[in-house]
Structure 1
């Protein structure tokens, strides 16, 4: 069985070698590591070509567009493996754990569409790690059982912590929506609705780097707010209209994320804050009905203090959380 690892590469010269050195020892000789190149202005491409020269599994590809989603799509369309992973090039993996996971996948054949795992947060400021345990030792084998493992107030839609059967993605036209933020939420919503056969594995292998200088996640343009709100609204409505009995916890999780993103309104430049607030004009329709008490409470508070007041309150909570974690404010 062949594994394809897709790594978009764009201005990550300080981190790329760390990422690739953690990945390569976990791969078998017949696997492939696709480094999909954006228009980097640093040494990222040179580093990629060096690894290609040194390792037979490494392929270097050029994007046919721009952005993370386009890079992932280019990699997916070029991949030839039975299973694929999407790894961000400023993150890294635990080599031994990933090797164990891939060994389990190879032993089980291609009957599973999505293997799901937990992951670690890696805090750049103080080089510490935190396990985000959502699955633990729970066993889930079908999408209808997602309610057993979806945490109420944690993101569960990160694409990079899962391993996917490539043919399942292609058969269901599960490419990434390009030129938008929150692409992982959109992708995972469509994946859930496609009804994959899933399996959970107690093998957290991924280290998600938080707080790196120059990361897109440290910048808050107006488009990020508008896109994120739009993707969440569309995902919530699509799930509601699907009629599936299991969608309640997924919708509640997206509703909570919708609320958390209110904090971004305070991080948009002053001339654009009014436009950012308009993105939430339909919040009553999106937040009701809900099965989550915290969402109910926050919705009630928004009626009293408004979108702007709620955004300030959540921004302060976010500030205090980052300060506690010794993260970049």
Structure 2
């Protein structure tokens, strides 16, 4: 029986922690190594972690200074000894057969990665797809029937559909070899966007499951529901890396899909004041990175995005200033 390491990064979630850990402890698949990573939490979470470790010998606790989600996940990965690895966010919880169903699919299909469908709920436990019909497609199961594919084909088959579930660390079971020499970028927001496409690139066989086995809680105070800040620009860096990776992998049909996401992320950056010195400096760094996307790739883009590519590559502040923020002290014509 294969050992599964379940990594739970923890910070400031005392209201939700017991529910999360209980759902993992009570898995029908019992051969688990449960790693609770206390990322310097200042509430009752450290004591709660230790109490759980005293109740269940499968639980190991890491107490570390606060370093953010990437740092906490990396600490768990460094300790993990299982043949398979799963992540569960500490304000979420999982179905009793979460691990059993996914490891069964992995073993029967000789898969490197298994991904299940997700319940999207608000903090009160209400299913969000029932209250947000406009976004129903986003919250649908990732597949109607069990499907197998390569990691790149998984991205290709799904494209933008259910994009969030495709990117996040949770709702997946990974063979441990996928994480060799790969860790999350410490200090970056949108850390999943920097890593998951690399995992897919290493995946020979992935399994997509229609079963909803993971309960994702959308809290208004969570990282992804906070104000757009300077650090939010990290998504641009991540997507530049992703589109370059797809070109290197020869996935030319996927390039337009994710270039469009990159373009949209630059558009959203207009929420910041581009004349602010720190914002301007960071954008200059990002536009230099953008220029590493080769000219030859433009032929794979529709005409509108060819224009966006050329404008962003040649004269980004002027181009996006004309499109978005022109009047309020915008920096014009800066192409460095």
Asked whether 1:16 is paired with 2:41, we answer no
Alignment partner, residue 328 of structure 2: none
Alignment partner, residue 163 of structure 2: 154
Equivalent residues of 1:265, 1:276 under 8 A apart? no
Please list every run of 5 or more consecutive structure 1 residues that lacks an aligned counterpart in the other structure.
Answer: 313-329
TM-score, length-scaled by structure 1: 0.77
Counterparts of 1:298 and 1:161, CA distance in 2: 37
- 3-state DSSP of counterpart to 2:111: coil
- 3-state DSSP of counterpart to 1:205: strand
Give the C-alpha shift of residue 65 in structure 1.
Answer: 6.9
Asked whether 1:32 is paired with 2:40, we answer no
Give the C-alpha shift of residue 165 in structure 1.
Answer: 0.6
- Of stretches 150-159 and 18-27 in structure 1, the one that deviates more from structure 2 is 150-159
Equivalent residues of 2:83, 2:176 under 8 A apart? yes
- Of stretches 47-56 and 151-160 in structure 1, the one that deviates more from structure 2 is 151-160
Asked whether 1:86 is paired with 2:95, we answer no
Counterparts of 2:19 and 2:273, CA distance in 1: 32
Alignment partner, residue 108 of structure 2: 108
Give the C-alpha shift of residue 306 in structure 1.
Answer: 5.0
Counterparts of 2:17 and 2:124, CA distance in 1: 18
Counting matched residue pairs gives 304
Alignment partner, residue 318 of structure 1: none
Equivalent residues of 1:266, 1:311 under 8 A apart? no
Q: Which of residues 196, 214, 220 in structure 1 aligns to 2:228?
A: 220
Alignment partner, residue 119 of structure 1: 118
Alignment partner, residue 178 of structure 1: 186
Could you give the per-residue CA deviations for residues 205-225 of structure 1, whole angstroms, max 9, x where no partner exists?
222222332536414331221
Counterparts of 2:197 and 2:4, CA distance in 1: 24
Alignment partner, residue 266 of structure 1: 271
- 3-state DSSP of counterpart to 1:207: strand
Could you give the per-residue CA deviations for residues 15-56 of structure 1, whole angstroms, max 9, x where no partner exists?
212212222211533312100111111111111112112222
Asked whether 1:233 is paired with 2:240, we answer yes
Q: CA, structure 1 residues 280+167, in 2 after alignment: closer, same or farther (shift >3 Å)?
A: closer
Equivalent residues of 2:239, 2:262 under 8 A apart? yes
Asked whether 1:206 is paired with 2:214, we answer yes
Give the C-alpha shift of residue 83 in structure 1.
Answer: 0.7
Counterparts of 2:275 and 2:214, CA distance in 1: 36
Counterparts of 2:229 and 2:248, CA distance in 1: 31
Q: CA, structure 1 residues 290+177, in 2 after alignment: closer, same or farther (shift >3 Å)?
A: farther
Q: Which of residues 173, 176, 184 in structure 2 aligns to 1:166?
A: 176
Counterparts of 1:208 and 1:179, CA distance in 2: 23
Q: Which of residues 312, 320, 326 in structure 2 aligns to 1:307?
A: 320
Counterparts of 2:21 and 2:259, CA distance in 1: 36
Counterparts of 2:94 and 2:198, CA distance in 1: 26
Could you give the per-residue CA deviations for residues 113-165 of structure 1, whole angstroms, max 9, x where no partner exists?
11122323223378333333333325123235322233357332112121101
Please list every run of 5 or more consecutive structure 2 residues that lacks an aligned counterpart in the other structure.
Answer: 130-138, 313-317, 326-336
TM-score, length-scaled by structure 2: 0.75
Equivalent residues of 2:184, 2:195 under 8 A apart? yes
- Of stretches 231-240 and 252-261 in structure 1, the one that deviates more from structure 2 is 252-261
Give the C-alpha shift of residue 67 in structure 1.
Answer: 1.7
Counterparts of 2:304 and 2:113, CA distance in 1: 29
Counterparts of 1:161 and 1:174, CA distance in 2: 19
Counterparts of 1:135 and 1:292, CA distance in 2: 28
Larger radius of gyration: 2
Q: CA, structure 1 residues 268+159, in 2 after alignment: closer, same or farther (shift >3 Å)?
A: farther
Counterparts of 2:231 and 2:27, CA distance in 1: 38
- Of stretches 274-283 and 122-131 in structure 1, the one that deviates more from structure 2 is 274-283
Alignment partner, residue 330 of structure 2: none
